[in-house]
Chain A
């Protein structure tokens, strides 16, 4: 099952050239980029691991792409995403975020139904990938 989160996730995976264009767009707007990776695909997992520090003062996308490739090399089968942060007063939020790498095989999620009080049914998402311990999931 293909994970769709962040921007562009319903498109085919972006090529490096397309990623470079997106980074250039972010940098032209003055948004510093940062890179994060994880092997826990749950949609509510918002705390991904940071790859290095956010990259301030860059002028050219080549620098971001360099770090991106370093991260891909270190974690060849993790999810890797790129954040662009808009620090302007009044905005101060992630302005753009998209996946730049995903594992070759994504096992998907199980929907767990739980019967609780008064015949209510609660639903939980459980990623098959997280059955295995961290670091051995993909």
Chain B
């Protein structure tokens, strides 16, 4: 049994800051350090390889919010910026990962109150029968308030071929909330580029309500290699020098094949290499040391069907 008081603890008096005089000077670097956004941005730079245009835009957004905050201290009123975003890009280019970081960043900058990420797909928003969609969508929106709503594969909300589809209803509710409750949540749509373009051309209201259309470029082979190395390092694996070569070759070959999904393909390749590595160890010698347990050999990669022109 927990104890509880009869009345809530006294609310802290609201910090009412005096407006700064017109000739005051604010230390922008200090403000920046105090907001703690630098940590998130640095982590973003360190953990995510490539994605230069994405990082630039995120830095700009962070700068805008920071400047807005300083302006408010001088009493210069600014409307709340429209921060709804659309992430377009091929599979495995890091859209979901960036969205998670974005929630954290917006929270640190004080744009959203809680900074949690609610990730949903069509199934969570669109109902099965008449009158089912609105409560479902509203439920999701309520849960996302104070944070970021991430709609994965947003183009699937609108299905042009089926006119009795309820996706349109979900879009309407979404639009209304995006417009009227900007201070309560930020919506991030994500999807593949061509399909998102089709989605926006059939929902013009949606496209114009989203201020930031951020395109995620595909990774180059070198970047994919770098990503692979980061993944391996985080799981405590190293590559032998010959294995590095094999890995590079693998990525080069895999890129050319159908259903290539950038970082996701790299992750899958590593998963399979780990499987072969484990199999090799169990089949082979009885006694293994740390170096055997952590080092991947070229054979772990070269056994892949990719080298024979297969798909995986």
Residues of B with C-beta under 8 A to A52: 135
Q: Name the residue of chain A whose CB is nearest to the CB of B113.
A: A60
Q: Judge if B141 is at the interface, Cβ distance under 8 Å.
A: yes
Q: How far is it, in angstroms, between the C-alpha of A21 and the C-alpha of B2 when the chains are bound?
A: 23
Q: How many A-B residue contacts, CB cutoff 8 Å?
A: 48
Residues of B with C-beta under 8 A to A73: none
Q: How far is it, in angstroms, between the C-alpha of A95 and the C-alpha of B11 when the chains are bound?
A: 18
Residues of B with C-beta under 8 A to A66: 138, 141-142, 145, 181
Q: Judge if A90 is at the interface, Cβ distance under 8 Å.
A: yes
Choose from B11, B135, B143 the contact partner of A58 (Cβ within 8 Å): B143
Q: Judge if A119 is at the interface, Cβ distance under 8 Å.
A: no
Q: Is the CB of A60 within 8 A of B114?
A: yes
> What is the 8 Å Cβ interface bit string for chain A, positions 19-56, against chain B (1 contact, 0 not)?
00110010000000000000000000000000010010
Q: How far is it, in angstroms, between the C-alpha of A66 and the C-alpha of B2 when the chains are bound?
A: 31
**Interface range, A side:** 10 to 19
Identify which of residues 104-139 in chain B touch chain A, using a CB-to-CB cut-off of 8 Å: 113-114, 116, 135, 138
Q: How far is it, in angstroms, between the C-alpha of A67 and the C-alpha of B141 when the chains are bound?
A: 11
Q: Judge if B191 is at the interface, Cβ distance under 8 Å.
A: no
Q: How far is it, in angstroms, between the C-alpha of A52 and the C-alpha of B2 when the chains are bound?
A: 30
Write the nearest CB–CB distance from A21 to chain B, whole angstroms.
6
Q: Judge if A125 is at the interface, Cβ distance under 8 Å.
A: no
Residues of A with C-beta under 8 A to B8: 22, 25
Q: Judge if B1 is at the interface, Cβ distance under 8 Å.
A: yes
**3 closest Cβ pairs, A-B complex:** A60-B146, A63-B142, A62-B145
Write the nearest CB–CB distance from B143 to chain A, whole angstroms.
5
- Offer 16 A-B interface pairs, CB within 8 angstroms, sorted by A: A57-B143, A59-B114, A59-B143, A60-B114, A60-B145, A60-B147, A62-B113, A62-B142, A62-B184, A63-B141, A63-B145, A63-B146, A64-B142, A67-B142, A90-B1, A91-B4
| A21 and B142 in contact, given A60-B113, A62-B181, A62-B184 (Cβ under 8 angstroms) | no
Q: How far is it, in angstroms, between the C-alpha of A21 and the C-alpha of B113 when the chains are bound?
A: 13
| A63 and B143 in contact, given A21-B11, A52-B135 (Cβ under 8 angstroms) | yes
Q: Is the CB of A62 within 8 A of B2?
A: no
Q: Judge if A132 is at the interface, Cβ distance under 8 Å.
A: no
Q: Judge if A88 is at the interface, Cβ distance under 8 Å.
A: yes
